[in-house]
Copies of this chain bind each other. A is one copy, B any other.
């Protein structure tokens, strides 16, 4: 007899299903569609030559180690390189504060695994990163969304959320995915203080921190938290768990990211990782170290910044020209996304259907809202497409929006 699989699944996965939006987005993978939907880096900035050299050197000089099983924490020279960089620019840490993960998505999963009991509340920005919600839904999280404005999470409204007793606060302070908004310095300080006052840890997700195209760098939460607590002899022991990644600096196809946290938290995360996948691919870690060790990344990030700045500028310029006046959008100072806001009564998922017919795509904003709402919002990626494609895509999208608004006016 056939196995009735659907009755064998655990609670956590039984109701997990494809979303309407995911099905819609599959349609955007047709090659003739200009897609602003993905969160992809520009392949033009992948340092292919450096990768090639690194692969050759690693296989020639360290092949036996790079292809073998390795430690769960990650390749020590790579962790030392990250520790040096972090200590110089952010907060003093040692390699024992660092765990290498298979992309930041895995770090989000491990954070959920480590902290979330079914029903626990998590404070999130509204909107917030969809991938975090997907990771934590599997652990039965509930969410307390805090409103955002053009300066990020409205920290004045955070205290009420903290009095609910949440497990942690999740923030993307720089050029947030999806909104492109950056948390102001003043609010960062207030956030750190409030989190400390209520004893609630902060998860700081910072994939784009180095991708700033204008304005002044603002210190990360982990740096401000470290500053507040004072020197600690080289090891970070504060209240923030910081996530970042090589996906935007080098290439996402390596699946390499890292967590910075107090050593006791890293220790628990290491045990989770051992049960989850033993360790991140050693070869990838050796190659990333070989590419990065001579200071190449500091130079390379300038190339990425210049490329993405141009694309952002072209997109904003085209939107100014082509989008109807009823639509508003953010003007991010960095990162990869901007955020469109339609009139309240409109549904971005309906607009997407028409947009796909016109061969252009974006992601409707509703799924980025942990507790519903946001039907009239949309996430638009500006890092992936070349300027001439952006021009054509925004022209198509502008026409789509005008048509949708005209139709809506007739209802």
Binding site for B on A (CB under 8 A): 1-6, 8-13, 16-18, 38-41, 43, 46, 48, 51-52, 55-56, 59-60, 63-70, 101-103, 105-106, 109, 113-117, 120, 131, 134-135, 137-139, 167-168, 196, 199, 201, 237-239, 247, 251-255, 262, 264-265, 268, 271-272, 274-284
A120 to B138, CA, bound (A): 18
What is the minimal beta-carbon distance from A96 to any residue of chain B, in angstroms? 15
Residues of B within 8 A of A279 (CB): 255
Known: A9-B114, A18-B271, A65-B253. 15 other contacts (CB 8 A): A3-B239, A8-B115, A8-B201, A16-B271, A40-B68, A52-B60, A67-B254, A105-B276, A106-B276, A106-B277, A109-B277, A138-B272, A253-B282, A255-B281, A281-B281
Do residues A252 and B69 form an inter-chain contact, with CB atoms below 8 A? yes
A281 to B105, CA, bound (A): 13
Closest to A196 in B: B1
Residues of B within 8 A of A39 (CB): 69
Q: Contact partner of A66 among B105, B253, B277, CB < 8 A? A: B253
What is the minimal beta-carbon distance from A61 to any residue of chain B, in angstroms? 11
Residues of B within 8 A of A55 (CB): 52, 55-56, 59
A276 to B68, CA, bound (A): 23
Q: Can you list 14 residue pairs at the A/B interface with Cβ under 8 Å?
A: A1-B199, A4-B199, A5-B265, A9-B114, A9-B115, A9-B268, A10-B113, A10-B115, A13-B114, A40-B69, A48-B67, A69-B252, A131-B278, A253-B282
A242 to B95, CA, bound (A): 38
Closest to A4 in B: B199
Do residues A201 and B3 form an inter-chain contact, with CB atoms below 8 A? yes
Residues of B within 8 A of A196 (CB): 1
Do residues A46 and B60 form an inter-chain contact, with CB atoms below 8 A? no
Residues of B within 8 A of A138 (CB): 113, 272, 275
Residues of B within 8 A of A8 (CB): 115, 167-168, 201
A-B pairs, top 6 by smallest CB distance, nearest first, are A67-B251, A43-B64, A253-B282, A55-B55, A67-B253, A106-B277
A365 to B168, CA, bound (A): 40
Residues of B within 8 A of A16 (CB): 268, 271-272
A134 to B272, CA, bound (A): 9
Do residues B2 and A237 form an inter-chain contact, with CB atoms below 8 A? yes
What is the minimal beta-carbon distance from A251 to any residue of chain B, in angstroms? 4
What is the minimal beta-carbon distance from A296 to any residue of chain B, in angstroms? 15
Do residues B253 and A68 form an inter-chain contact, with CB atoms below 8 A? yes
Do residues B67 and A252 form an inter-chain contact, with CB atoms below 8 A? yes
